[in-house]
Each structure stands twice: as structure tokens, then as C-alpha cells.
Amino acid sequence: MAWLEASPLSVWVRESVVGFPLTLSLHALGMAFLVGVHFALDLRVMGFAPKLPVHLITKFYPLMWVSFVVALVSGLMLLLAYPAKGLTNYVFYLKMLLIASAFMVGRSLTRTILIPESEISSRQKMLAILSIMLWVSVIVAGRFLAYTYTILLTTDYY
Amino acid sequence: MEEALLSFSQNTGIYSIMGSRWGWPIIESLHFFGLCLLIGTVGLFDLRMLGFVKAIPVSAMHRLVPVGVAGYFLNVITGTMFFTSAPDQYLYNPAFQTKLVFMAGAGINMLFFYSACFKTVKNLGANQQVSQSVKIIAGISLLCWLGVISAGRLITFYRPPAYWCFWCG
């Protein structure tokens, strides 16, 4: 852990003028479009904007995947900056589990809407509500990470 | 100014919510939820006007916007809760001031869009395009909201003493 904290990229994210603010902003922007595109599909399946062809929302998925990569890379950089802070906090692992679950729910919902059907089933609506709840849980876990850590750094650089 | 904002927070009970053990992160989570609703609806509508996923009818895409407006009001409420509970962390904070500029930009742009352009947009169907000038307005909207998010995220990064803000006087 100590050598990770001492690695040049870790020090750069933590201590340079632009490193941390840039990484934080990118993580927020990535989240906005990653979760936003999922929300758009979920809202449509729940009955909002009924004239919006539901399968066409998946055309925004390339944007969603790019946003995911931005959030993932910036998230890894935040983790690299303070590896002990995240890895010693069970909320971090909970967040990872919630992200995986949210993606799995999104995947099973996407698979069913690609089959042309006139009516949206109640099962699909349940999946959409579950998807929103899971993404909100991801957000809550992410926010709580900043308030529940016990170790900031294993070595003292300040 | 600081005292007035703080006493508003204290008199309305907001201050005790924000000061409770998990009050601040819970309200922050709601603020992020509102942000994602806004980007998932208004953001995607802007992208459609800019020419993404032309197969989606513009008029149908716009029907998601009211949900984004709900997200916006959620964030005005939660944002006011942060701002009035720790006004000294916001008033002199360059990230917060930058965020306000982007919010004003988004607001003025939105008023102009609905008063001058919306009638030419609201009935457009699949594979139809908005005019070049409306595309510019959609681009300004998107950039302003990205600016709001970026600057907003940096508010907690800069916890400035008042003298940091050289234009605050």
C-alpha cells in the first residue's frame, strides 16, 4: 500500500494543482451520463414519454459506455491517490457490488426491450424501478465513502 | 449576509438536519440523484437536438424533460440546504461562484429557448433536424450543465478562507 501511495501517479492526483479537482470533476461527469442514460430508459419503461420508441434509447448506450470508462478510470485514479482509504472501507466493496448489480439489471431490461412488443410488462417496470433504486444506492455509497473512512493514508506525506 | 443565511437555516430546522450524523451525505446523495435525472432527460434532449440518435422524434424526447425539471427543483431545495447551513464555505468559494455563473447561463439560455425557439422544435418528428441556431442553443445548454456539475463538484475541494476570493472585496 505504501509503495502505491508513493507512486508518481498517486502523488500527482493527490498533490498537484489540477490532479485531484480534475479527477473529481471527471468522476461526477462520468456518473451523470452513465446513470442519466440508465434513468432515461428506466423512466420510459415506467411510463414517462410514452411516444418515445423505447428501443431507440439504447442508441445512447455508446455514450453511456464512454461515460462508464470515464467514471471507472477517474475512480481508479481516486483509489490510487488514497488506496488505504477505499480498500479498508467496506462501503467501497458495497459500492462495487451495487454497480455490478445495477449493470446486470440494466442488461436484463435491455435484452427484453429489444424484442419488439407493444406493451411494457409489469416485470419490465419492476426491473426499471429496481434499476433506479440500485443506481441511487451506488450514489449513496459513493457519497458515504467520503464520510466513513477510517484510514486516509498508511504513510504520512504531509 | 452570512448571518442572515445561517439564521434562515437554523430557524427552518435545516441546520439540525444538516448537522445530524448522516444529514450532509444523505442530502448530497439526493443532490446527485437530481443531477442524474437532469442529465438523463434535459441532457439527452440537448444531444438529440444536436443530432444524436436522429431516429428518436424530437417531440417524444421532450416528454422526458418534466422529470428533469423535477430533478432541478430537488437540487434547488437540497442546494439551498447546503448553502444556508455553511454560507461561509460558499459565498467566498470560487468554485461556487463559477457554478452560479454557469447556472445563470443555463437559465437565460433556457428562457430564450422556450420563448423564441420551442415552437419550431416541439412538433419535429423522427429524422427531422432543428435549425443551426437551435443547435447552438442546445450546445450552450449542455456545456452550461457540464460546467455546473464540474464547478459544483469542486466546491468541497476548495474550502477557502474568505481572503482567497480576490474579487469578493
pLDDT 10s digits, A141-158: 999 999 998 888 887 654
Of A38, A56, A147, the CB nearest to B53: A56
Q: Does A94 contact B at CB distance below 8 Å?
A: no
Which of A14, A16, A18, A25 best tests the B interface by mutation, with the highest count of B CBs <10 A?
Answer: A25
Of A36, A48, A144, the CB nearest to B43: A36
Asked whether residue A106 is domain-assigned, the answer is yes
Asked if the Cβ–Cβ distance from A32 to B29 is below 8 Å, we say: no
pLDDT given for residue A30 in this prediction: 98
Judging contacts by C-beta atoms under 8 Å, the chain B residues touching residue A140 are 25-26, 29
Which of B61, B127, B153 best tests the A interface by mutation, with the highest count of A CBs <10 A?
Answer: B153
> How many contacts (CB atoms, under 8 Å) link A and B?
114
Residue A131 is part of which domain span? 2-148
Give ipTM to 2 decimals: 0.94
pLDDT given for residue B159 in this prediction: 61
pLDDT given for residue A158 in this prediction: 46
Q: Does B25 contact A at CB distance below 8 Å?
A: yes
Question: Chain B residue closest to A141 (CA)?
Answer: B29
pLDDT digits (tens, 9 = 90+) for A96-126: 999 999 999 999 999 988 876 668 899 999 9
Asked if the Cβ–Cβ distance from A51 to B59 is below 8 Å, we say: yes
Asked if the Cβ–Cβ distance from A40 to B32 is below 8 Å, we say: no
pTM above 0.95, yes or no: no
Into how many domains does chain A fold? 1
For chain A, give the mean pLDDT.
93
- pLDDT per residue rounded down to tens, chain B (169 residues): 889 999 999 999 999 999 998 999 999 999 999 999 999 999 999 999 999 999 999 999 999 999 999 999 999 999 999 999 999 889 888 899 999 999 999 999 999 999 999 999 999 999 999 999 999 999 999 999 999 999 999 998 776 555 555 555 4
Q: Does A38 contact B at CB distance below 8 Å?
A: yes
Asked if the Cβ–Cβ distance from B56 to A52 is below 8 Å, we say: yes
Asked if the Cβ–Cβ distance from A32 to B149 is below 8 Å, we say: yes
3-class SS string, chain B: CHHHHHHHHHHCCHHHHHHCCCHHHHHHHHHHHHHHHHHHHHHHHHHHHHCCCCCCCHHHHHCCHHHHHHHHHHHHHHHHHHHHHCCHHHHCCHHHHHHHHHHHHHHHHHHHHHHHHHHHHCCCCCCCCCCHHHHHHHHHHHHHHHHHHHHHHHCCCCCCCHHHCCCCC
Shortest distance between the Cα of B9 and any Cα of chain A, in A, equals 22
Report the Cα A66 to chain-centroid distance in Å.
12
Q: Which residues of B111-143 are buried (b: 16+ CB within 10 A; e: fewer)?
A: eebeeebeeebeebeeeeebeeebeebbebbbe
pLDDT given for residue B166 in this prediction: 54
Q: Does B57 contact A at CB distance below 8 Å?
A: yes
Q: Does B100 contact A at CB distance below 8 Å?
A: no
* Grid cell 457554478 in the structure block, residue: B99
Shortest distance between the Cα of A3 and any Cα of chain B, in A, equals 25
Name residues whose C-beta falls within 8 Å of residue B161's C-beta, 6 or more positions apart in sequence: B92
Q: Does A111 contact B at CB distance below 8 Å?
A: no
pLDDT band at A130 (very low <50, low <70, confident <90, very high): very high
Asked if the Cβ–Cβ distance from B44 to A40 is below 8 Å, we say: yes
Per-residue pLDDT at A63 exceeds 70: yes
